[in-house]
Amino acid sequence: MLPTVSSLTISQLIAQLIVVRTTGYLFDQQLQYPQWEADSTKLRHLVQTVGVGGVIFLGASAAEMALKTAQLQAWSAIPLLMCADVEEGVGQRFSGATVFPPSMALGAIALKNLPHAVELARQMGSVIAQESRAIGLNWILAPIVDVNNNPKNPVINIRAFGEDPVIVTALTTAFIQGAQQYPVLTCAKHFPGHGDTDLDSHLELPRIDHDLARLEAVEFPPFQAAIAAGVATVMTAHLDVPAIDPHEITTFSPAVNRSWLRDRWGFEGLIVTDALVMGAIVDRYGNGEVAVKAIEAGADLLMMPVDAIGAIQAIQAAVESGRLTRDRLEASVTRIFHGKQRVCAAPMPVTQALLTSTIALPEFSDCATEIIRNSMTVHHPVRSRLTEEKWQKSRQSLILVDDFLSCPFLTRTAPALVHCRSQGYSTQIIEANTDLLLTSSWRSTLLQIFVRGNPLRSNAKFIHRISQWLEFLQRSDQLQAVIFYGSPYVAAKFLPTLIETVPSVFTYGQTVEAQAIALEALFQSDRSGEVGKEGMFA
């Protein structure tokens, strides 16, 4: 039961604007990012005593998350918004649940068959909503509706549906419609459009110099479609966009929050900031000023301030000084309560039966598999090194990764390892920072490359390493076949340089399911009729 907004004190109103971050794990020693994640004592204080409005989670199993969210709701006098960045499925963040390939895989399918891609996007939204509800999440921080038209984009990249605003608009609408069949809030991000940037806003402030006509033609349509589809929340980006506001960062811009979203487009839902810990803004203004400026500009929810208590105190001081008013706070909390009324019904008790009847159902996995298969490309030349006798001897599989410790998909049972060993390949994992040990002793080499855009760190060094390995293996006539997992941009850079007789596979996914499907395609693609040159494996 929600109280009336007018009955709340100023401090209670302010607390409802704050979304704090924690882990889904149950025990403090499992914190993976202690500088950002509240431990159990601090979290209980924030939820039970301070009365924050929401929590964002990262990490744990789906079962642990169900227990954690139930405990937090029990502590809170006012129901909480519970959210996570589950753009690629609940399993992307919480193990055991369904994992989808990156959203750009749907964009690839749409280039060939838009109606089919739209249906898959609708199914994907539905699956993510159902699994989110089962573990206590009521707010999905998806879909990404940015139009990623810059291949060098380090922060959006393959998280977007694609480069064509028409396709992105269609898939955005379908995803939201699929998710909103269930009591969850969705989120269109990152307004006014983070797709054509080459800086990472976690670290620096990107600038977009396009004029208004270009923004209205490319960046804006997916957001307008999301609002028309009933999206509950819009997340703003930390950007410098002079065509909209020549004086303020978009996070702090009344033109962005009020003039465009509220006045021109009639958006009545919640406006949420991107994470306020991000270097693009907090390094410029500090924790308290960031919070006050965002509320002044029209934001309703403050995502992940560096110091939640400090942010609350700064907003309280702004009210006391007259910089902010109670009416301004009540307007946001009224919208927050409207959202909570939609999704914060009494939670079902967490039971094994509930989880096993909702999480990772076969039909959910089938949807993910269909997206993987239909977005994958396979090149199998008529004369293939996979079938020639010379290439059946002294076989090795080299697996190139940026950072092995950040590769949860390369477990000891991962198909990239196990399947290749079953085919008679020795296997070796090589990191980007590993000194190259290029040897001229001949080996028939299958090169498996796991690469995608990495927020918070550049992959330029890794791409250079890929170039070195491909150049060496081809020059020494050791390259038998290549699989790229992840980035179509990196694959497109290197696949045209391969010798004609080298077969190749590209898949958007990096999960064990994507690995199994890609390897199956590679080793079975010589069968007559299964795949044509540059064709799609089905």
Catalytic residues: 202, 274
For the chain, give the longest Cα–Cα distance. 81
In angstroms, the CA 62 to CA 58 distance is: 11
Place of tokens 């105190």: 313
Q: List CB contacts of 53: < 8 A, sequence separation 6 or more.
A: 15, 16, 17, 18, 19, 78, 80, 81, 301, 336
Question: Hey, what are 187's tokens?
Answer: 């989120």
Tell me what percent of the chain is helix, strand and coil, each rounded to the nearest 5. 45, 15, 40
Stated length of the chain: 538
CB neighbourhood size of 208 (10 A):
22
Tell me how far apart the alpha carbons of residues 139 and 86 are, in angstroms, rounded to a whole number: 10
Q: What is the DSSP letter of 298?
A: T
Contacts of 62 (CB under 8 A, 6+ apart): 90, 91, 94, 95, 96, 97, 131, 134, 135, 355, 359
Backbone phi, psi, residue 58, to 5°? -150, 125
450 strand-pairing partners = 485
Q: Cα separation of 372 and 517, whole Å? A: 8
Owner of token pair 């208590």:
309
Contact 126, 179 (CB under 8 A): yes
378 DSSP β-pair partners: 505, 535
**Helix and strand counts by DSSP (H, E) for the chain:** 19, 14
Query: From the CB of residue 143, how many other CB atoms can be counted at a distance below 10 Å?
Result: 32
- Virtual CA dihedral for 37, 43, 49, 52, nearest 10 degrees? 50
Helix 114-134 / helix 165-179 crossing angle, nearest 10 deg: 40
Other beta carbons within 10 angstroms of residue 364's beta carbon come to: 25
Q: Are strands 426-431 and 504-507 parallel, antiparallel or unpaired?
A: unpaired
DSSP string, 326-360: HHHHHHHHHHHHHHHHHH-SPPPPP-HHHHHTTSS
Q: Hey, which bits of 168-241 come out as E strands? A: 187-191, 233-236
